Structure 1
Amino acid sequence: MTHGTHNAVDDPRNENVLIYINGELFPRSEAKISVFDSGYLVGDGVWEGLRLHKGVLVFLKEHYNRLFQGAKTIGMDLKMTRQDITNAIWETLNANEMQDGVHVRLMFTRGIKKTPSQDPRLTISGPNLVIIAEYKKADPKSRDRGVTLFTSTIRRGSPDYLDPRLNCHSKIHEVQALVQAIEAGADEALMLDINGFVSTCNATNFFMVKDGEVWTSTGQYCMNGITRGKVIEICEKSGITCRQKNFSLFDAYGADEAFVTGSFGGLTPVTKIDGRVISGSVPGAMTQKLQQLYEKEIEHAVQISKV
């Protein structure tokens, strides 16, 4: 059975959700896009994963900042304002009568190509926008059980050829890393940077705890995670020492606790890295404290959005 940070509780309502494609809504079974789409052909696009919590799209500003920065980085004009996108998201949510416990996948590609090619000049349409909203709650079993990691030989890229902060559709190196981890019997992959320091995981960001301090990578070679940023902010506000620094597997193997972060799963404990036991019981005291503080941060975001 699949186990990892993206495990979700099964919800039969998802069989009948409506999917947004370029201003139209389609039943799940009829939602399709051209085989000449840039995202399908060459992975040319940017995306975001959002949470709808108690009627509020949580941390929407931060997600938009990352989305528009990514689009600008790859030279793609989304042809929509933030408000236009928000309207499209709510059109989708309202059509599905959704208010809580929802995960929204927002995907832009450069558009339809005249012929299979990398060349953006051969794009013959405007950008394609697909919005998939599903009833999706993280399976509490993942948090209770924790996840195991395996260090992949696939490295996080250098900013001069594929900046890890770019939330783009091209994810094959992360898939490769995850395949290695699965084949090694682990749940997810831990990835090093080009200098051999611990960077991130294949789909989440990595943190460790040592002697009451929280450590995470410098951020130079890791995903620009919204939840990662929130955890760092929470530590600063709560007087918890959080160091963004270079550290190696030597340090990670000796951690008192470890956890990974992501918009969907929040904070998920890590029990083993490369077979070394990090924590026999989860969550550890610091991880549990940060889980609680992160949930309070979400509730605060909901409150101020409704003022």
Structure 2
Amino acid sequence: MNTPANPLVFNRKQLNRRRQRARASYESVDFLKKRVAEDIEDRISVTRRQFDLAVELGAGLSDLREVLAPHTGTIVLCDSSPALASTLTPPALCVDEEWLPFKQESLDLIVSSLALHWVNDLPGTLIQIRRSLKPDGFFVGAMLGGASLMELRQALLQAETELTGGAEMRVSPFADALDMSQLLQRAGFTLPVSDRDRLTLRYDNIFALFRDLQASGETHAPFNLTRKPLTRRVLMRAADIYQEQFADPDGRIRATIDIVWMTGWAPHPDQPKAKRPGSATVRLADALGVEEQSTGEKAG
């Protein structure tokens, strides 16, 4: 699936181990997942559709079965961690998001909540999702992206550069909403939509942020394990930089979280299509019931 143009960035085995360890602590930090679940339900409800067979990718830490139930028939929960998948209420499967096992055109709905930002080959996964959907099947996904954890990234980069003369990637790279719109189109989705929801979390200090990232299984899991470990000296300097540059007047620090949203449909002949430019038969002014105002001489 991965090519030289799509090198491995994340160690998926390490990620699954961390997600498994986070199972016991995730409930204390599941506020993001709960918010995303509510928004997913909103985005599905506006379709006014019932989906017979639905799949949730990345369900292990907090599944969406209750949220999806009013809009679906059978819901299959999936997680890439064997340990987490074994704890899910059946029907459930252990599924690697990079290698989907579903038959082509077999699913009516695919949902993914805060999982796809850990995929090495996101374009390839989106293509697999689209191929797994029946004609006019629906996909809705949410993942961390954009400027997420930009303050932490900057503080660690600056501290390590100051103290060691160089720095390594300590915070995962994230895709932007604009990138996602293009990827959805390339994957063959029709009516693709991508947008961003920016949140600002506040913590007492950088170490409280670290605890939440660990409790949710979201600490960086790089494929290249030869990197140098962070020293206590670098961490303490990063904590000072974070406090100096990203603290509010009350002393608490800010952490930016961007949730990037994706929705798209598998192609179907009956779906709405964009009109050919110049094919309109009614003036906009007439449709709005207003008087047309000239903007000047026509060009040429």
* TM-score class, shorter: under 0.3
**Larger RCO of the pair (alpha carbons < 8 Å, separation 6+):** 2
TM-score by length of 2: 0.25
Task: Say which one has the larger Rg.
Answer: 2
Structure 1-normalised TM-score?
Answer: 0.25
